């Protein structure tokens, strides 16, 4: 059988420094020869929450243009694909590294240009941090605690804690953010597909990023879970773009003062894929100066596609 072309790919685990933890990511390199339909089919074939296709940049100053697909659709921006691909490209460009090495990777996504600082680790993989290309904003409200609770298999009294209330926020990709009162409550969640549309699709966003204060890791500021069944994501292990959207909710409800603020958000514990996402917010004279997402990534395997 004759193949048209070979494409290299890698699988990484993102928002973790341990293989087989965190959120898995497929990255296909030199993918500009692939059609949109083939990219979408490959994303379904890998069947991970996201698959990245690395294409030549549209601007010479950048290193690559990323196309990001869930099993069912393309996204303009996503966090764990940005972190994972930045680490992979940094490792690829440096070859064999014997000492921790700093590298800057300039990516393009449909949302715009994203500058990533990467520390490549000698044992493989690295840590990447990027500034949000678009600050989060609130784009909608959720009127019914009852319907949210029903869809999540919770009691209405489980919804909300402190000043936090549900809402829809976006930093490029929008999410329905649902605060729940305790770690015990968030661990009880059992999504109900029959109730899902009434709770989430009527808001124009059919996903749910559910969070509570604290976590299993004593360093965690928040514990989260994310469900997006209509995108083929029953439960996501780590959702950087949701944490990016969540940054505005923190600003709305925490009343942060000027200075640097750092929050560790843990996710994926309930599905055996513990993940840790670092959210950093800088405020100056009452205004948001910068918001950054960071995390580790490890390269699990590399291979070849024959298409």
Which residue has tokens 């296909």?
28
pLDDT band for 95, please (50, 70, 90 cuts).
Answer: low
Name the CATH superfamily housing domain 6-132+296-306: Diaminopimelate Epimerase; Chain A, domain 1 (3.10.310.10)
For 8-25, how does the pLDDT look when each residue is reduced to its tens digit (9 = 90+)? 999 999 999 999 999 999
CA distance 19 to 39: 25
Query: Are the CB atoms for 207 and 240 separated by under 8 Å?
Result: no
pLDDT at 123: 79
CATH for 137-293? 3.10.310.10
Q: How high is the pLDDT of residue 94?
A: 72
Given the residues 6, 18, 45, 50, select the one marked as catalytic.
50
239-275 pLDDT per residue, tens: 999 999 999 999 999 989 999 999 999 999 999 999 9
Catalytic residue check, 235? no
Instruction: Give the residue ranges of DSSP H helices in 53-134.
Output: 79-94
Every domain range in the chain assigned CATH 3.10.310.10: 6-132+296-306, 137-293
Distances (CA, A) of 81 to 176, 181, 202, 229: 20, 30, 28, 19
pLDDT for position 26: 98
Instruction: Write the DSSP symbol of residue 16.
Output: -
Which CA distances in Å does 23 have to 39, 103, 149, 227? 20, 23, 26, 14
What is the rounded average pLDDT of the residues 120-124?
85
What's the pLDDT score for residue 96? 63
The C-alpha atoms of residue 202 and residue 143 are separated, in whole angstroms, by 10
What digits encode the pLDDT tens for the residues 29-80? 999 999 999 999 999 999 999 999 999 999 989 999 999 999 999 999 999 9
CA dist., res. 34 & res. 40, Å (int): 10
What does the mean pLDDT of the chain come to?
Answer: 94
The reported pLDDT for the residue numbered 49 is: 93
């Amino acid at each position: 059988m004759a193949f048209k072309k070979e494409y290299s790919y890698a699988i990484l685990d993102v928002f973790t420094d341990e293989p087989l933890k965190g959120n898995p990511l497929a990255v296909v390199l030199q993918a500009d020869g692939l059609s949109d339909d083939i990219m979408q089919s490959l994303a379904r074939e890998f069947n991970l929450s996201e698959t990245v296709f690395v294409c030549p940049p549209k601007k010479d100053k950048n290193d690559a243009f990323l196309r990001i697909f869930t099993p069912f659709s393309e996204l303009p921006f996503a966090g764990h694909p940005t972190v994972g691909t930045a680490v992979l490209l940094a490792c690829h460009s440096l070859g064999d590294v014997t000492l921790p090495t700093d590298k800057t990777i300039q990516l393009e996504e449909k949302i715009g240009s994203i500058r990533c600082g990467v520390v490549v680790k000698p044992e493989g993989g690295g840590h990447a941090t990027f500034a949000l290309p678009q600050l989060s904003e609130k784009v909608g409200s959720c009127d019914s605690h009852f319907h949210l609770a029903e869809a999540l298999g919770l009691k209405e009294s489980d919804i909300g804690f402190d000043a936090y209330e549900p809402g829809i926020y976006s930093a490029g990709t929008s999410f329905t953010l649902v605060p729940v009162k305790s770690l015990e409550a968030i661990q009880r969640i059992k999504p109900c597909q029959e109730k899902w549309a009434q709770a989430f699709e009527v808001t124009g966003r059919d996903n749910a990023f559910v969070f509570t204060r604290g976590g299993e890791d004593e360093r965690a500021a928040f514990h989260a879970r994310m469900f997006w069944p209509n995108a083929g994501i029953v439960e996501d292990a780590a959702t950087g773009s949701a944490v990016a959207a969540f940054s505005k909710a923190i600003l709305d409800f925490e009343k942060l003062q000027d200075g640097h603020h750092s929050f560790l958000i843990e996710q994926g514990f309930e599905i055996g894929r513990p993940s840790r996402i670092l959210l950093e917010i800088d405020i100056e004279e009452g205004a948001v100066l910068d918001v950054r997402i960071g995390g580790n990534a490890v390269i699990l395997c590399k291979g070849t596609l024959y298409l």
